[in-house]
Structure 1
């Protein structure tokens, strides 16, 4: 694969597409600092990082502002910090756990300071006034050393440019011990190695276990200037001018002579399989010492990908929208090398002819991000699904939260199932439907920590005294079962369809009609009390997961019609929604993931994300329009505190992208999108076959948030939903907006998004 040719072709293609329409670069609207640090008084901001990466790349080269990142800086960077510890090559975007941070480099000038074992004496102060970022590029001045650090990246490699001051000793630290706190997730570096094959090259690896078990990270680094001396430590052991060091706490200081040339360039290839593949990755993707060319290539790739949606709106809207789109395209991450090698879940190395992907934050991303990928990244969506199916063949069930090729069992249910089913039901080419069904069926029947299926089949619900998080588990597993049933239906598997359809109704078994909530039972069928719908659960020890009874009440996306009937009809349902969005009471202890409140609605975490759209199902679409508009306005901005919660690998971003255009996948595997309140004047989606699906919102403004009328391809349209086939066909969905609700539009039963 010739990376350079691909980039040049992408650049040419971008200029052809954009040239006739606008000279404005879409990448100019992306602000990578959005979501990188909470404002005073805000609990969460996004947990994003500002560093250099390319779409879905293996490498995320970004500054770490802490020596030992923890939950509060899960991406490695916090905008409110004042020092930089170094620049590492792998990061997570928007997650709630700090992980990766592999192969950290840090330049410094002046004398070498004696360090205590495990400490970093070379962090530097920095200022946002001397810091900048754009897609594929990051720069900062390290104030303590008068060094300008610039970073860019390709899919498998990072490229550093360090400009040192004159007449000072120049050094670069390379740290293989840098990680999240060793006390978190039992993090431990099992083995690592640093070797010096010549005076311009370092190679090595580390094997580290933590949130993801037994990660192997290999690297090959080339320097534009010779290393004149190295000082290596491994805990308390010191090695001077070493050729090779093995240990589990390795850090090295490299000395350089910058008297003639103050710039030092460093190319670092990363691999999850071998040093040889790391070397191949970097030498193929960055064949020459041209830093600016790599920056421009990264920008061109981002321009091409972000151009898949073109919008008209305010500058603030463009910045929020395109930064959100940028964040959704950061992950899943390529894990395979250019050779096709990738680390399988059984710790062997396997080969794939297509990219193999990891970083599947599925409890989050199945809701909005993966449906968005099926529209904007259909070919990659196929590769995502096939990566999951390859994983299933070895592991026995689909991934739950897969990182660096390994399972960490984070969160509940198995939400690879709706991702796989959605892709097959949308007829994406290149997926074996029978193999997909085998995977989703077995992942819905084989016991694993995320879903206790023996209890499920025996009781028709999860008893809290046998498995905690029981109400959330019951509701989420019922949805996954609906997905399995739909795929069985498509493939003509009647017995399986009937079986899983029956299981998808198990949610009813935990509905207490006396109090009007889902609540926990024990294995004898008794309600477990006391019950407080305001009380929060975290990730165990309580019936609800990262939420409360109010937020989980609405989680029946497969059968909203049934939920409406369960509570007593449209009026009771909408009154309960009204209370949900206006009830401000909160208990003393609110789970850390609960933020971005409108009443009990908590936009900062995913269980709430579909709820504003539910008024459409009960004949009051103007209230959906009201609350969607409020969320769009209040929960996103252009500051470092731009998100109301963790972005969770692009999920909060995906909600904004869909909702700003005017629709959202309430049931992510249904191929149906429920209409909200479009906030953009215009959005044009470029489809894979060259067709365009355009959404126009006439008269839209901060006050004109209500739909007065709509047309689809020139014909009057009163339905409060559209189908995937409407998007696939191309065409125009046109809204006329106004400042007051039109309580006649979309209110008839046949206009509701109910089958």
Structure 2
């Protein structure tokens, strides 16, 4: 593939020029971001599991309300729109995940007239939250506000990359207090969660610092903070479990809360600035004073808004107001993570708990089973410099740990989910010529991570049997299919580097999916080490994360997971006619009650948009000469399974993947094979989409008559010439240009059906 990034030394300057010029000609985009989308489900459904609080693109801090004292999986982000209680405002959160963690350094303002300081400290131990209502709550990109009903306090929050900024407006003459809780976390002892050590240190009468070391979904995280207030701390009550200490300067323990007492409110807000670090309180202070040097809350809000505006500006769309709100909120969600955990001086805590330094940022929060599918391919288009940072951070784990991330959180590996999906992310970035990546280091990392046994990846068994036996590793069908795809990716990089023996080895392994295909039933079915298939077999039966051959899905949904060899899959099914007939059944077959588990939602027949195994399937009709059916189902998903309400997603948003699906699909194409550089055309939702690319190029998609009725492509032109391919390549996009569609209400069954018009992988 052509390296469109070879002039990387000029990239930053050219991008900056492009952003300035482009921004001058458009309306602001941040008003279209609605952080409440996907924050709470209607009864019996999933919604997104998103938080509404303040953050900046790829920032370490996510300052947001927690509506649960001990969040669990159903409010893994800490917030549920159906709740009417706020426990406090913590500084770190996960966006749309299916498991909870973080919730670090919780602050909560309150008022009180306790007769004794013992009573004041006691309140810190028995509960200090407040009721609230949504009609006194607001949020936008980089800003959050709520009125605490029980105390009459108006809370405003904003953030920088490494710091949070709080503004509390107390009722006049009320006694202002702030609780800092270092024990607030996910529900203990889930994931073995407990605080190992914590500390408060009163630095002076305006400042408190400290840390906590905690284990949970991410193992042994160190979180340091440095907090300054704009008013004098008149006294403090420090609490360790049931023991209270008054006006003490230092306290160590495992169940710590601090009550900071201030003079009665005089009509001016109490403000707090809080810096975080994984390294030390000194670095937390450095982060704070560097990013928020003054007490100008309004300016910090404006700076956060400007950072979001710059990133959102990289894709300009035209459509209805509702479509733009869904689109830009989705784009916003894709840009929340991965998170840069390196301090402003480049220090960060590596996976081996030693301090390292980097000039390019150190990123974590890699929900790779989700995000390799669409979020990371999107980053290669609109975040090439950060894509290099993501890849180099993954390679850093390989160097220290021996293999690439599976699911990395706060710099730690938690082994969640299956496959080795850092591999397609790295291979995709290298093959697309993203600058700043050492190709030889990248190849070493992807190859050795594919031959070294590690949890969930028994490669010796893999090569011995040519599949994963269920009695060796559960979820065996899903693991076999997904590891086969990862092996195809390794093979492509081996081919680029002329490593013939490696290419032969890995391309052979990429075909192991054939060893589980059962022609009699037409499904991929599990085998044990004796070669016998598991019985009885019900293709509608769901698996979760163990105890079943399928991961968060069923045999129907995994029947289509061979993104690197769809042509081979079509042949397995008996040809194009049988393939499309089975797709038709897939999209119309309803399962029986009780056969669907909590990981599946957003159904169209057996298609479950609420979870990732289904995400590419609507686009498979293109490979068999029926692209109008892809157009029909993509339009249906975009219009019915995304909305502007708190239940605006069909399932967990999963660190940007659910959103990236919409961003791509609304523009008109999607990466079925995420590492191929090929995007399969669906149907454009937006009337116009413009991607601002490196080297000041733009790629424009026009569909001026696209509407709720006009969902079918009648014809297309690329740069003025007739275009009949049902795919477009990275090379086409990066050159810049215009892809224009004529849309209509009836399917054109003649466009894009030729053999040469179909995607090849």
* TM-score w.r.t. length of structure 1: 0.97
> Following TM superposition, by how much is the alpha carbon of 1:639 offset from its aligned partner in structure 2, in angstroms?
0.3
Equivalent residue, structure 2, for 1:735: 741
Is 2:665 aligned against 1:659?
yes
Equivalent residue, structure 2, for 1:744: 750
Q: Which of 48, 53, 56 is residue 55 of structure 2 equivalent to?
A: 53
Query: In angstroms, what is the RMSD of aligned CA positions?
Result: 1.5
Is 2:95 aligned against 1:93?
yes
The 1-side partners of 2:63 and 2:375 are apart by: 23
Q: Which of 419, 428, 432 is residue 422 of structure 1 equivalent to?
A: 428
Kept in 1: contact 2:121–2:259 (CA 8 A): no
**Residue aligned with 2:210, SS:** strand
Check 1:503–1:373 CA distance in 2 against 1; reply closer, same or farther (3 A cut).
Answer: same
The 1-side partners of 2:593 and 2:548 are apart by: 15
Equivalent residue, structure 2, for 1:32: 35
The 1-side partners of 2:745 and 2:360 are apart by: 50
**Residue aligned with 2:487, SS:** helix
**Residue aligned with 1:139, SS:** strand
Equivalent residue, structure 1, for 2:639: 633
Equivalent residue, structure 1, for 2:3: none
Moved over 4 A (4+): 9-15, 112-120
- How many residue pairs get aligned? The number is 745
The 1-side partners of 2:454 and 2:669 are apart by: 35
Kept in 2: contact 1:62–1:88 (CA 8 A): yes
Equivalent residue, structure 2, for 1:536: 542
Check 1:659–1:748 CA distance in 2 against 1; reply closer, same or farther (3 A cut).
Answer: same
Equivalent residue, structure 1, for 2:25: 21
Is 2:419 aligned against 1:413?
yes
Q: Which of 588, 591, 606 is residue 597 of structure 2 equivalent to?
A: 591
Equivalent residue, structure 2, for 1:76: 78
- Alpha-carbon displacement from aligned partner over 1:635-686 (angstroms, at most 9, x marks no partner): 1000000000000001000000000000000000000000001111000000
Pairing 1:395-406 to 2, within 5 Å after superposition? 395-406=401-412
The 1-side partners of 2:91 and 2:354 are apart by: 23
Q: Which of 430, 436, 458 is residue 442 of structure 2 equivalent to?
A: 436
Is 2:505 aligned against 1:499?
yes
Kept in 2: contact 1:10–1:300 (CA 8 A): no
The 1-side partners of 2:573 and 2:337 are apart by: 39
Equivalent residue, structure 2, for 1:384: 390
Kept in 1: contact 2:195–2:212 (CA 8 A): yes
Equivalent residue, structure 2, for 1:446: 452
Equivalent residue, structure 1, for 2:10: none
**Residue aligned with 2:264, SS:** coil
The 1-side partners of 2:266 and 2:657 are apart by: 49
**Residue aligned with 2:174, SS:** coil
Equivalent residue, structure 1, for 2:110: 108
Is 2:533 aligned against 1:527?
yes
Pairing 1:254-333 to 2, within 5 Å after superposition? 254-333=260-339
Moved more, 448-457 or 201-210: 448-457
Check 1:281–1:308 CA distance in 2 against 1; reply closer, same or farther (3 A cut).
Answer: same
> Following TM superposition, by how much is the alpha carbon of 1:14 offset from its aligned partner in structure 2, in angstroms?
9.1
**Residue aligned with 2:703, SS:** strand
The 2-side partners of 1:708 and 1:146 are apart by: 58
Q: Which of 65, 68, 86 is residue 67 of structure 2 equivalent to?
A: 65
Equivalent residue, structure 1, for 2:685: 679
The 2-side partners of 1:752 and 1:196 are apart by: 66
Pairing 1:447-466 to 2, within 5 Å after superposition? 447-466=453-472
The 2-side partners of 1:96 and 1:294 are apart by: 32
Check 1:12–1:366 CA distance in 2 against 1; reply closer, same or farther (3 A cut).
Answer: closer
**Residue aligned with 2:634, SS:** helix
The 1-side partners of 2:20 and 2:371 are apart by: 33
Pairing 1:527-566 to 2, within 5 Å after superposition? 527-566=533-572
**Residue aligned with 1:689, SS:** helix
The 2-side partners of 1:285 and 1:309 are apart by: 27
> Following TM superposition, by how much is the alpha carbon of 1:261 offset from its aligned partner in structure 2, in angstroms?
4.6
> Following TM superposition, by how much is the alpha carbon of 1:242 offset from its aligned partner in structure 2, in angstroms?
1.1
The 2-side partners of 1:259 and 1:157 are apart by: 25
Equivalent residue, structure 1, for 2:517: 511
Q: Which of 146, 169, 172 is residue 175 of structure 2 equivalent to?
A: 169
> Following TM superposition, by how much is the alpha carbon of 1:508 offset from its aligned partner in structure 2, in angstroms?
0.3
Equivalent residue, structure 2, for 1:5: none
Kept in 2: contact 1:468–1:541 (CA 8 A): yes
**Residue aligned with 2:158, SS:** strand
The 2-side partners of 1:15 and 1:397 are apart by: 37
The 1-side partners of 2:582 and 2:235 are apart by: 70
- Alpha-carbon displacement from aligned partner over 1:321-360 (angstroms, at most 9, x marks no partner): 0000000000000111011111111111111121100000
> Following TM superposition, by how much is the alpha carbon of 1:591 offset from its aligned partner in structure 2, in angstroms?
2.2
Is 2:244 aligned against 1:238?
yes
> Following TM superposition, by how much is the alpha carbon of 1:13 offset from its aligned partner in structure 2, in angstroms?
6.8
The 2-side partners of 1:11 and 1:601 are apart by: 39
- Alpha-carbon displacement from aligned partner over 1:466-515 (angstroms, at most 9, x marks no partner): 11100000000000000000000011111100100000000000000011
Check 1:118–1:416 CA distance in 2 against 1; reply closer, same or farther (3 A cut).
Answer: farther
The 1-side partners of 2:562 and 2:125 are apart by: 50
Equivalent residue, structure 1, for 2:674: 668
Check 1:133–1:577 CA distance in 2 against 1; reply closer, same or farther (3 A cut).
Answer: same
The 1-side partners of 2:439 and 2:55 are apart by: 33
The 2-side partners of 1:13 and 1:460 are apart by: 52
The 1-side partners of 2:24 and 2:305 are apart by: 19
> Following TM superposition, by how much is the alpha carbon of 1:114 offset from its aligned partner in structure 2, in angstroms?
5.8
Kept in 1: contact 2:692–2:698 (CA 8 A): yes
Kept in 2: contact 1:85–1:124 (CA 8 A): yes
> Following TM superposition, by how much is the alpha carbon of 1:16 offset from its aligned partner in structure 2, in angstroms?
3.7
The 1-side partners of 2:244 and 2:17 are apart by: 53
The 2-side partners of 1:579 and 1:672 are apart by: 27
* TM-score w.r.t. length of structure 2: 0.96
Kept in 1: contact 2:121–2:237 (CA 8 A): no
Gaps in structure 2 of 5+ consecutive residues: 1-12
**Residue aligned with 1:48, SS:** coil
**Residue aligned with 2:750, SS:** coil
- Alpha-carbon displacement from aligned partner over 1:43-79 (angstroms, at most 9, x marks no partner): 2100000000000000000000011111111001111
> Following TM superposition, by how much is the alpha carbon of 1:724 offset from its aligned partner in structure 2, in angstroms?
0.1
- Alpha-carbon displacement from aligned partner over 1:429-459 (angstroms, at most 9, x marks no partner): 1111111000000110101112111110110
> Following TM superposition, by how much is the alpha carbon of 1:111 offset from its aligned partner in structure 2, in angstroms?
2.3
The 2-side partners of 1:206 and 1:699 are apart by: 56
> Following TM superposition, by how much is the alpha carbon of 1:548 offset from its aligned partner in structure 2, in angstroms?
0.2
Kept in 2: contact 1:115–1:121 (CA 8 A): no
The 1-side partners of 2:458 and 2:124 are apart by: 41
Q: Which of 561, 578, 581 is residue 572 of structure 1 equivalent to?
A: 578
